[in-house]
Amino acid sequence: RRLFLSPSVPGSVAGPLPKRGLRLDRDSPANAQRQSRRAGSPEQEASLEPVGDGEAWLEPCGSAQLQEMENLLASDDQELIGDFSKPHLLPTVEGKDPGLKYISPGTLAAVLSGHYSSFIGSSVVVDCRYPYEYEGGHVKGAVNLPLQRDVEESLLEGPILPQEGGKRVILIFHCEFSVDRGPKIRSCHEYPRLRYPELYVLKGGYREFFFQFPGHCEPRDYRPMEHPAFREELRQFRGQSR
């Protein structure tokens, strides 16, 4: 329950801040868009680039994308992140658990490609699968934290501090399908004192991401949890998970 607790934040909050009239923070796309118009940001001249082996394409991080993010953050219907300080940066999709925020494989690929670098200071992909699954193929740069104690030790003993300039720290959790292990570990936190208030779950998990964006995976492969060669490892880790 102490996961993500921060002693620097008050222990109680009356409730969410009103959404209407919400001021965009310093890292908002509105400010970034105005600055890029003045400075002639190279992002405005970005062109479409294929991901991986050309299986899928990402939108350029130009003025149209900045406008889309500005509209997303300014929307009255957009829910605030865990500490109620600002709206979610990443576009979300419907998932199994309505209490969690899910993102699509395409959104994760955009984050990995740097399309949100103007607003994100640090992003961590947390792979909650068992080690033999991770070793058989994982998202590039992802950290393997299969058990709750692993998450607590990694993210609390060496916490990621707030970024300069108001840039965000976001965590993205997933398992094989993001149906059980990923959402379960991600939800082990306690409101309203959050160490990491902006967290997401990758919809479809590693399986769906690998099939859409194999170029963002290493090794470029997918090992299922119930692989017949790792039955003993599966039995052991299931016992630890309980």
Determine which one of 61, 128, 175, 217 is catalytic: 175
* Active-site residue, 175 included: yes
For residue 240 the two structure tokens come to 């630890």
Residue 239, number of CB atoms within 10 A of its CB: 8
Distance between terminal CA atoms of the chain?
Answer: 16
Q: Which residue has the tokens 């868009």?
A: 33
CA atoms within 13 A on the CB side of 70: 14
Handedness of CA 132, 133, 134, 137 (dihedral sign): positive
CA atoms within 13 A on the CB side of 153: 8
Write the Ramachandran bin of 193: left for phi over 0, alpha for psi from -120 to 50, otherwise beta: beta
Q: What letter does residue 23 receive in the DSSP assignment? A: P
Identity of the amino acid at 200: Y
Which residues are designated catalytic? Answer: 175
